[in-house]
Amino acid sequence: MAVDVLSRNNVTVLGRGQRPLIMAHGFGCDQKMWRFVTPAFEADYRLILFDYVGFGKSDLAAYDPQRYSQLQGYAEDVLEICGALKLEQAIFVGHSVSSMIGLLAAIAVPERFAQLVMIGPSPCYINEDGYIGGFERQDIDQMLDIMEKNYMGWAHFLAPVVMQNADRPQLTQELEESFCSTDPTVAIQFAKTTFYGDNRRDLALAPVPSLILQCREDAIAPVEVGHYLHRHLPHSTLTLMEATGHCPHLSHPDETIQHIKTYLEAASLTAYG
């Protein structure tokens, strides 16, 4: 079972430390997106990287449309990885939608996790009844319609909006290529699961402390979302970054590393000081 899970999700284990730190990529990406961040943690942590089914070098044959029609299916994969590697009290670092996947996994099996680090998280992307998620529902409908009709054109349009660092076009190009390398059927299903999802009610159930890393300008998860999460996530810390865009671990890795390390060091002092 363990071998099947590790192969299915193309799990990579790095580092010389003992404490497990899981890094989970966002929509349309894979574990390579963490390459600017992982070296800073290899000395002190056991790093676990993986690809969600349908992305990167995961086993596409394992893709189940019914299982992955909800984020809970991806959370189950995370828990199966934790089980295969016998992880306890892990730090889960999730980018974008992976923040909610990590939250669901922690709610289901709290003993697997010690802290959640959420980079550009959002519990709900659609504006509704005074809640600012960043998008009107018709915006999401239109985006998904474009994905279905012209997937490559959608990727070319969305990548610079997500990256939002025009001075480094190579990052935008990398993100676009990552989008384009994904099976469109899988990507569209994951987009629907992500952008139509609403995890606001799950926030109060968070069993472990969390760090919210919010970029000062983010077209996908605006600042209002970061403040909403901070108000509704128990024992959460909100850090407003100088970084712009939705992928600070790529565009601003040094700042991302600094904030994560500062948070984890403070949490360690609180626990053992």
Place of tokens 């012209």: 150
Q: How does pLDDT run along the chain (273 residues), one tens digit per residue?
A: 555 999 999 999 999 999 999 999 999 999 999 999 999 999 999 999 999 999 999 999 999 999 999 999 999 999 999 999 999 999 999 999 999 999 999 999 999 999 999 999 999 999 998 999 999 999 999 999 999 999 999 988 889 999 988 888 898 999 999 998 889 999 999 999 999 999 999 999 999 999 999 999 999 999 999 999 999 999 999 999 999 999 999 999 999 999 999 999 998 766 544
How distant, in Å, are the alpha carbons of 98, 113, 118, 194, 252 from that of 64?
Answer: 18, 26, 26, 16, 35
Which domains occur in the chain, in start order? 2-123+199-272 (3.40.50.1820)
| pLDDT on residue 269 | 66
Active site residue 178: no
**Residue 21 and residue 46 in contact, taking contact as beta carbons nearer than 8 Å:** yes
For helices 169-181 and 151-163, what crossing angle results, to 10°?
Answer: 140
Q: Give the separation between CA 95 and CA 115, rounded to whole angstroms.
A: 14
Q: Which of 25, 95, 246, 252 is catalytic?
A: 246
Q: Which of 96, 98, 236, 251 is catalytic?
A: 96
Q: Which of 218, 251, 252, 259 is catalytic?
A: 218
| pLDDT on residue 270 | 65
Q: Give the separation between CA 177 and CA 55, rounded to whole angstroms.
A: 12
**Residue 95 and residue 249 in contact, taking contact as beta carbons nearer than 8 Å:** yes
Active site residue 218: yes
**How many CB atoms sit inside 10 A of residue 71's CB?**
21
Active site residue 98: no
Q: Give the separation between CA 135 and CA 154, rounded to whole angstroms.
A: 17
| pLDDT on residue 3 | 58
| pLDDT on residue 258 | 98
SS3 76: helix
What's the pTM?
0.95
**Residue 17 and residue 46 in contact, taking contact as beta carbons nearer than 8 Å:** yes
How distant, in Å, are the alpha carbons of 15, 97, 120 from that of 247?
Answer: 23, 12, 8
**Residue 238 and residue 214 in contact, taking contact as beta carbons nearer than 8 Å:** yes
